[in-house]
Structure 1
């Protein structure tokens, strides 16, 4: 089992939100959080229901953000143009079809 740290959490004062409070903060339905809890950052203490801090909610929001290419260009600038691909270099190694088996050694007659 991997020990996870909460490196993403920058909360000075941790305020754990339950499903309903987290859903209200994200303006979504609490059922969506319950249905997707396995893929979302959260805290779990024993058999208690999952809780979320504001940093968890920021990550959930980032995970669900859709960025169309036009918007990404406005944020990141134009996409770099692909460099022209050079011709494949010819190798000094002959092609597989041109390979021939090496000459075997002559066997010495038995009893020599």
Structure 2
């Protein structure tokens, strides 16, 4: 069973190839409050929650994740390189690795 699609304001099209969190949250905050449950208050709470989640779950891993995504996306589906490097860390990716699924 598939879930409902994300509303456009939760995943806006970035204005740059590598936006930072502040830019993404500003795009979120620019959403028409009438389209969000709770209006402006709901939008403010959502932006605060997204920022807090980022700090707790992703911030410390983002450089490695971004590097891996860039390598995988730039080489095309099914052509992942055998490894991606980020600073002194190393992420191994088997050549046979297919697309990641949730």
Do these two structures clear the TM 0.5 threshold for a shared fold by scoring above it?
no
Normalised TM-score (structure 1): 0.24
Considering fraction of residues, name the structure with more helix. Answer: 2
Q: Which has the higher contact order (CA 8 A, sep 6+)?
A: 1
Q: Which has the higher strand share?
A: 2
Q: TM-score scaled to structure 2, two decimals?
A: 0.25
> Highest CA radius of gyration, 1 or 2?
1
